Amino acid sequence: NGHNGNSRGALIVLEGLDRSGKTSQSSRLLPYLEGLGLSVELWRFPDRNTYVGEMISSYLANKSQLDDRTIHLLFSANRWEKRSLMETKLRSGTTLIVDRYSYSGVAFSSAKGLDIEWCKVKTCLSCYKHEISFVQAPEMGLLAPDLVVYLDIPPEKAAERGGYGGERYEQLEFQRKVAEHYKILHDTTWKGHCVDAPLEHATGRPDTVDGLIPSHPACYTIKVFPPFF
């Protein structure tokens, strides 16, 4: 019923480690949702097609060096530059499946151990734990997802899948840290929220996760989280 003019599209986010299967899952989810008669688009962050995205891409390819905070803010800026188009699409009834979003921003940057002092200077809002407050702050005001699916895979298994592509961050040791930080997000920020199936308002299908591949070869479990912002 995404086409009746009144209902907006749903913002569905897929998160997980590198090689966790987000791309396979999103390309599976797309035809599934289209089959339900919805208008759907597949997005991903970083969006490398913008000027900011080019800077990110060059950093990831080790062709440029950037301070950890700088790249953190570029990832966030890359979401901000797509925000209004995102809102327009959702309001016009298009459902967006987004491969990575703010959760990647938080998990990857905090896995690098961003400076806690700067974090304190930037926040003092006493609403989030200091370790993650700075990295979350630039995300405030972006559109909250209706559904966040975390593809939980052991880092060792992800590393076995056809190897990493050689970009920055694609190393087992670092991915282990990222997994820990996704878990910290889950145990702190996400804790206490309850899933109220907001997708129901958006598409009438609270069970959209059915479109994913639960028994995808390898061993992740799919966790569904509510949005944190």
Q: Which is nearer to ligand NYM, 45 or 225 (CB)?
A: 45
Q: How far is the CB of 207 from ligand NYM (least distance, A)?
A: 26
Q: Which is nearer to ligand NYM, 77 or 197 (CB)?
A: 77
Q: Which is nearer to ligand NYM, 169 or 229 (CB)?
A: 169
Amino acid (one-letter) located at 206: P
Q: Residue 60 interacts with ligand NYM (CB under 6 A)?
A: yes
Burial classification of residue 216, based on how many CB atoms lie within 10 Å of its CB (0-12 exposed, 13-18 middle, 19 or more buried): middle
Unique residue bearing structure tokens 């003019």: 5
Q: How far is the CB of 60 from ligand NYM (least distance, A)?
A: 6
The one among 43, 59, 75, 190 contacting ligand NYM by CB under 6 A: 75
Q: Residue 155 interacts with ligand NYM (CB under 6 A)?
A: no
Question: Pairing between strand 221-225 and 147-152?
Answer: antiparallel
**Phi-psi category of residue 165: left, alpha or beta, with phi > 0 → left and psi -120 to 50 → alpha:** alpha
Q: Residue 108 interacts with ligand NYM (CB under 6 A)?
A: yes
In terms of DSSP H, where are the helices of the chain? 22-35, 51-60, 68-80, 83-91, 102-111, 116-122, 130-136, 155-160, 172-187, 199-203
Binding segment for ligand NYM (CB under 6 A), chosen from 62-70, 85-93, 102-110, 142-150, is: 102-110
The one among 8, 100, 177, 181 contacting ligand NYM by CB under 6 A: 100
Q: Total residues contacting ligand NYM (rule CB under 6 A)?
A: 10
